[in-house]
């Protein structure tokens, strides 16, 4: 008998024996378990097919001789025959591609179990339960919840005391600082502070109604200091002539027009958490991982800091 066939038989026998021992020796063994029966049937088929294919092509390499027309190109003296692609191979290749597209879109992966999907479903269910359980919380309890969320999510940038860690982030113990006001006046704002895109124009669109002229550098410095100083001091006339039309005479904003620049409000903080914010310090990301009640609580806590 040809040695190749002999080694094929020996290898097949060993593999089948190993497969049988692995399955039969497992808990439950075969015992009419359809999963184990299918597993061993598949293993047998795989071994037989693999050995048959290997023997076929090894024998072909031993006995076949190359023939046909060589291509003009060669690589390091190695030529390539101009043979057509075997029809069976081409059909199998195309069928494999069709099966692959079916498998990835309909058969399994797209519709498969996903840990991320399960996590998202669990998170959504937890948020619904959380919102229902704590929907009635108001007042000091809401502020206490907001402090807990702040310490878990916000302190890394704003600091435990919410002081901004030496300019790393906004100091939340005051409504707004002079450099922030100046940046917004000079560059405008489009940060969805009202929950929707209501952009404030830059300095080229801001007029002092008292003088009828565009706001000047000196007026920008004055109104920035005025707003940062809690709506007091020099710059009141500039604010009244340029800013009060949108932000109100007291700076507490106007619904659907402009946000409060005098005090924080829970709604303002919630909108910042929902949309993020760009400013003179940098960019703050939005916080999608917080649910609506948590954002409301953070708003209540931050509002309580600047009172």
pLDDT at 27 over 70: no
Residues 6+ apart with CB under 8 A from 303: 263, 264, 265, 266, 269
Q: What does the pLDDT look like over 202-223, one tens digit per residue?
A: 999 998 888 889 999 999 999 9
Parse the chain into domains and list their residue ranges: 1-64, 135-305
The reported pLDDT for the residue numbered 195 is 84
Report the pLDDT averaged over residues 110-116: 76
Q: What does the pLDDT look like over 89-103, one tens digit per residue?
A: 899 999 999 988 988
Long-range Cβ contacts of 203-209 (<8 Å, 24+ apart): 206/242, 207/242, 208/238, 208/241, 208/242, 209/241, 209/242, 209/245
The reported pLDDT for the residue numbered 25 is 60
pLDDT at 28 over 70: no
Per residue in 155-176, is it b (16+ CB within 10 Å) or e — as a string? eeebbeebbbeeeebbbbebbb
HSE-up of residue 173 (Cα within 13 Å, Cβ side): 10
Residues 6+ apart with CB under 8 A from 153: 287, 289, 290, 298
Confidence of residue 84 (pLDDT cuts 50, 70, 90): confident
Q: What does the pLDDT look like over 149-202, one tens digit per residue?
A: 999 999 999 999 999 998 899 999 999 999 999 999 999 987 888 888 778 999
Out of 21-30, 158-167, 193-202, 280-289, least confident range: 21-30
- C-alpha distances in Å from residue 298, one per residue of 92, 217, 218, 302: 61, 36, 36, 6
- The chain-wide mean pLDDT, for the chain, equals 87
Q: What does the pLDDT look like over 241-258, one tens digit per residue?
A: 999 999 999 999 998 899
- The token pair that represents 91 in the structure block: 């059909």
């Amino acid at each position: 008998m040809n040695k190749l066939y002999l080694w094929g038989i020996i290898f097949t026998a060993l593999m089948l024996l190993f497969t049988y021992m692995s399955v039969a020796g497992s808990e439950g063994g075969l015992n009419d378990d359809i999963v184990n029966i299918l597993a061993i049937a598949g293993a047998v088929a795989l071994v037989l097919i693999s050995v048959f294919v290997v023997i076929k092509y090894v024998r072909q390499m031993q006995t076949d001789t190359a023939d046909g027309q060589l291509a003009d190109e060669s690589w390091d003296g190695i030529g390539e025959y101009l043979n057509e692609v075997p029809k069976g191979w081409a059909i199998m290749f195309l069928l494999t591609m069709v099966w692959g597209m079916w498998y990835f879109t309909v058969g399994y992966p797209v519709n498969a179990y996903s840990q991320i999907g399960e996590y998202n479903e669990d998170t959504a269910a937890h948020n619904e339960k959380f919102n229902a359980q704590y929907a009635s919380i108001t007042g000091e309890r809401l502020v206490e919840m907001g402090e807990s969320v702040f310490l878990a999510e916000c302190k890394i940038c704003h600091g435990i005391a919410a002081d901004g860690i030496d300019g790393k982030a906004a100091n939340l113990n005051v409504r707004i600082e002079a450099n922030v006001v100046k940046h917004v006046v000079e560059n405008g704002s489009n940060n969805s502070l009202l929950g929707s895109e209501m952009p404030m124009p830059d300095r080229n669109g801001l007029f002092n109604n008292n003088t009828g002229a565009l706001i000047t550098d000196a007026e920008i410095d004055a109104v920035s200091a005025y707003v940062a100083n809690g709506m007091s001091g020099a710059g009141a006339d500039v604010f009244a002539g340029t800013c009060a039309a949108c932000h109100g005479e007291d700076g507490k904003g106007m619904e659907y027009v402009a946000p409060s620049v005098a005090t924080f409000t829970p709604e303002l903080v919630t909108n910042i958490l929902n949309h993020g914010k760009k400013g003179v310090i940098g960019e703050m990301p939005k916080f999608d991982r917080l649910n609506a009640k948590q954002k409301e609580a953070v708003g209540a806590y931050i509002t309580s800091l600047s009172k």
